[in-house]
Chains A and B, each alone.
Chain A
Amino acid sequence: RKEVEQDPGPFNVPEGATVAFNCTYSNSASQSFFWYRQDCRKEPKLLMSVYSSGNEDGRFTAQLNRASQYISLLIRDSKLSDSATYLCVVNPFGGYNKLIFGAGTRLAVHP
């Protein structure tokens, strides 16, 4: 079983749609959680951290369910510029930030 699992997609949605990505992780002792965004042929960049209480950044909402070992990302009012691959990332150890990356979920927003 992979340590971090994501639906690879692609998710093809029209502009303005709401789309949700899910991710599961295997290590119940994991310390911290993130979503990174990777544009085509570019490097990954941090989108947002994920907290147990849930957190929101504009159109983006991230949720963590520790009991189910499940992380989600909700994007409301999708824009063309949201087209990218979204990487679910887990830090199982704390400390030096040795991160475990999911393989990513690809999102394509069309007009």
Chain B
Amino acid sequence: DVKVTQSSRYLVKRTGEKVFLECVQDMDHENMFWYRQDPGLGLRLIYFSYDVKMKEKGDIPEGYSVSREKKERFSLILESASTNQTSMYLCASNGGYEQYFGPGTRLTVT
């Protein structure tokens, strides 16, 4: 079974803090993705990576950065958290057509 894990289920951070969200997959997948999910808007792609140290911007990259130093790990960084970044963050990976998602991190920025 493919497993995608995320470092936290719930996080509360203050405005201006630097926030790290970690994602690990155990299936040797090339591609990894970070999404945010908001009511009425669905999942929106923030960044994706198709190889170690390779990354591409998704549809809403502003205010975020990513790091992929190892194949199994893909980190999302909020450089200076803002209240409009309060959301559910979902990591995913795929080696074929199916994307496998982690359980999500609900981030609240106060």
Q: Which residues of A approach B to under 8 Å, CB–CB?
A: 4, 8, 32, 34, 42-46, 49, 87, 91, 96-99, 101-104
Contacts and interface: CB of A to CB of B under 8 A. Distances in A.
28 contacts: A8-B40, A34-B97, A42-B103, A43-B90, A43-B101, A43-B102, A43-B104, A44-B43, A44-B90, A44-B99, A44-B101, A46-B98, A49-B97, A87-B42, A87-B43, A91-B97, A96-B48, A97-B97, A97-B99, A98-B45, A98-B58, A99-B45, A99-B99, A101-B43, A101-B44, A102-B42, A103-B41, A104-B42
A44 B98 CA distance: 11
A104 B38 CA distance: 11
A4 B59 CA distance: 14
B94 interface: yes
A51 B98 CA distance: 15
Interface of B: 31, 33, 35, 40-45, 48, 50, 58, 90, 94, 97-99, 101-104
B97 A32 contact: yes
A45 B1 CA distance: 13
Given A43-B102, A45-B101, A97 B42 contact: no
B101 to A, nearest CB: 4
Contacts of B101: 43-45
A25 to B, nearest CB: 13
Contacts of B31: 96-97
Contacts of A87: 42-43
Contacts of B58: 98
A59 to B, nearest CB: 21
A50 to B, nearest CB: 11
